[in-house]
Amino acid sequence: MAATRLLWGKYFQYDRDGEAVLLDPVTLNSCYLDRGEVTDLSAVPPTATHDALSELGFTPDGPATDRREALRRQLRDLALDPTPNRVSGLRIVLTDRCNMACTYCFVDTNTGKPDMTEDELAEGLRYLFEENADRDEVSIQWFGGEPTIRFDLMRYGDELADRLAAQHKVKRVRRTVVTNGARLTDEALNHLVRHEYGVGISIDGPPDINSANRLLLGGRPADDRIRRNVRRLVEAEELHVGCNLTPTAANIGRLAETVAWIIDTLGLKFIYVNTPIPTGGRWRVNGQDLAHELYEARLVALSKGGLLFSVLDRAFQALDTRRPMLFDHMQGDGTLNAAYLPGKRVSLCDINFTEPNFLFTLDELRYHPEVLGTVTKRVAPVPACGDCPALAICGGPSRNEQLLIGGDTPDPEMCAFYTETVDIALWDNTGVQ
Amino acid sequence: MPTPRRTKTDHLIHADVVDSKSKAGVWMGERASFQDKQRQILEGLKDALNWVPLEGAIMAISTNPAGITVIAPNPTLPGLIVLADGGSPAASAHLQTNGEDLVRQVMSGLGIAEEAAA
């Protein structure tokens, strides 16, 4: 790991083996210095290195600025608005019933609450298409519980979505389903193929890892069944099948091996590693270790012809494009994917279905679109954010994280994670990231 | 001269990792699309360049130091081409040396003599 210090009171300098990288945490400009330049930098200015750095925008002078305020100004200059402008996609929670009982699930499953009705589903879809009339695309994601338990509603909703898309001149409907893969009927498979679904299968790794947290309701593992169903999905044409991998105590330390197994054994070449959610008030994984594991795992995936994405990519994208990447739950176009729940309620945070602050009726969203501001991120909410190199990449906890951890102060493991991602990304400027 | 980080905008921007979970399926759908675009771009480049196909190339991936090394049979001369891209200028040089050394080691193990340029 590189040692970090502050240069001229405003740039982070990462030293490693005599070389260094300089980072401006607000503009996200960074540059590399070789050994000679590092030495030159410590000499009495002006040296050739000082002059060259000045040309790149790294200067010792200028007013001392509040970096948090400077970031907010930067966001305004780049027209990056933290408030969503509309809902462009719905994660539709058809039921909380699930055939599995995963220990870390953020959804309260099998509570006995009623499933979504056809009428409720139709109203939610009508809202989505009305809001996005004449747009290029809306996205629909079936979610649960285990959404395939209500395959009848998925089929009904897909048929209705096709009609609404035509009626409201929406050019494309992106359809995805998040499933545990433990049940897949021929009828459902044919339907997924017909609508060119993206299928995200939640699986944590080989049986000894997966069964640590993901068991059927009766307590038995479902790995053989899941593997058979994954094979059927992978072999089907027109389907895009990937894996949603959750970092757990069982696979941390074995993430690269886990990813290799997913690619080699399951044949899934698209892997998304879920971001830890501080359910229970805190991160349950070591942030620094997780950052390194994600990096290693990504390269293992690449070496096997696979693609692995995670929140680590934020650091690479931000540094490479010089644009802050700190709005956790918004799409790149400023729109929001919200969760649509039974009872015609919408949660503006698609990974929290119970927090009253996020819950609205469809009419509230229709007639008071300003409520979208409820999820607007408070950028860098604590003074310590101003001293963090990940200022413009993390930006502090999201509204959801603040509610889960009970305050503005981020979980220390979250901070460790993001600062480590910056370190990793600064030293990897290669074309494959 | 200090080297600024290169600007790169060809990430899967549309995949939009900032909002991740809900878009898994979208990424999967986009893979075929971007690979098709890559093919189109390469076809376009062929019109603008003098080129030969680089059959049998491999890209080695390293984490320490971070970087990639493209190793390919030279299509017109004996020997292999080694092109390293590391996380920093020093890392690139390190990977380049490592790559060339490895090629020599493998050649030696196979009993293939290095051919001097005429």
Q: pLDDT (tens digit, 9 = 90+) per residue, A106-137?
A: 788 888 999 999 999 999 999 999 999 999 99
Is the pLDDT at B14 greater than 50? The verdict is: no
Q: Which residues of B touch A175 (CB under 8 A)?
A: 25
Contact with chain B for residue A338, Cβ under 8 A: no
Burial class (CB in 10 A: 0-12, 13-18, 19+), A386: middle
C-alpha distances in Å from residue B81, one per residue of A85, A315, A408, B45, B99: 51, 32, 53, 21, 10
CA distance B81 to B69: 10
- The sheet carrying A307-309 orders its strands as A307-309, A270-273, A240-245, A198-202, A172-179, A137-143, A87-93, A336-341, A345-347, A359-361
Residue A420 phi/psi, 5-degree rounding, is -70, -35
* Closest CA in chain A for residue B9: A321
How confident is residue B73, by pLDDT bands cut at 50, 70 and 90? very high
Domain ranges of chain B: 13-48, 58-110
Determine the average pLDDT of the residues in A38-46.
91
Contact with chain B for residue A106, Cβ under 8 A: no
Evaluated on CA atoms B63, B15, A421, A38, the torsion sign reads positive
Provide the shortest C-alpha distance from residue B33 to chain A (in Å).
Answer: 12
Provide the shortest C-alpha distance from residue A113 to chain B (in Å).
Answer: 24
Contact with chain A for residue B11, Cβ under 8 A: yes
CATH architecture of A87-375: Alpha-Beta Barrel (3.20)
B69 and B60 Cβ atoms separated by less than 8 Å: yes
Domain ranges of chain A: 1-64, 87-375
Q: Which of residues 75-104 of B touch A (CB under 8 A)?
A: 85-91
Q: Side-chain half-sphere of A213: how many Cα atoms within 13 Å?
A: 19
Report the pLDDT value the prediction gives residue B70, as an integer from 0 to 100: 93
Contact with chain B for residue A324, Cβ under 8 A: no
- The pLDDT tens digits of the residues spanning A83-97 come to 999 999 999 999 999
Encode burial over B78-110: b for 16+ CB neighbours within 10 A, e otherwise. eebebebbbbbebbbebbbebbeeebeeeeeee
Q: Which of residues 281-300 of A touch B (CB under 8 A)?
A: 295-296, 299
How confident is residue A141, by pLDDT bands cut at 50, 70 and 90? very high
A283 and A411 Cβ atoms separated by less than 8 Å: yes
Look up tokens 């102060």; give the residue: A409
User: Nearest Cβ partner of B7 from A19, A89, A320?
Assistant: A320
User: Nearest Cβ partner of A37 from B2, B24, B86?
Assistant: B2
User: Nearest Cβ partner of A241 from B28, B59, B90?
Assistant: B28
Contact with chain A for residue B23, Cβ under 8 A: yes
Report the pLDDT value the prediction gives residue B30, as an integer from 0 to 100: 63
Contact with chain A for residue B49, Cβ under 8 A: no
Q: Pseudo-torsion of CA A347, A100, A229, A299, nearest 10°?
A: 70
CB contact under 8 A, A242 and B90: no
Label residue A169 left, alpha or beta by phi (over 0 means left) and psi (-120 to 50 means alpha).
Answer: left
Q: What element of type H or E holds B118?
A: none
Report the pLDDT value the prediction gives residue B18, as an integer from 0 to 100: 41
Please name the residues in contact with A403: beta carbons below 8 A apart, sequence gap of 6 or more. Answer: A352, A355, A357
Checking ipTM against 0.95, whether it exceeds it is: no
CB contact under 8 A, B25 and A174: yes
Contact with chain A for residue B70, Cβ under 8 A: no
* Closest CA in chain A for residue B25: A198
Supply the DSSP symbol for A263.
Answer: I
C-alpha distances in Å from residue A276, one per residue of A74, A273, A401, B60, B98: 28, 9, 10, 31, 37
Q: Which residues of B touch A35 (CB under 8 A)?
A: 90
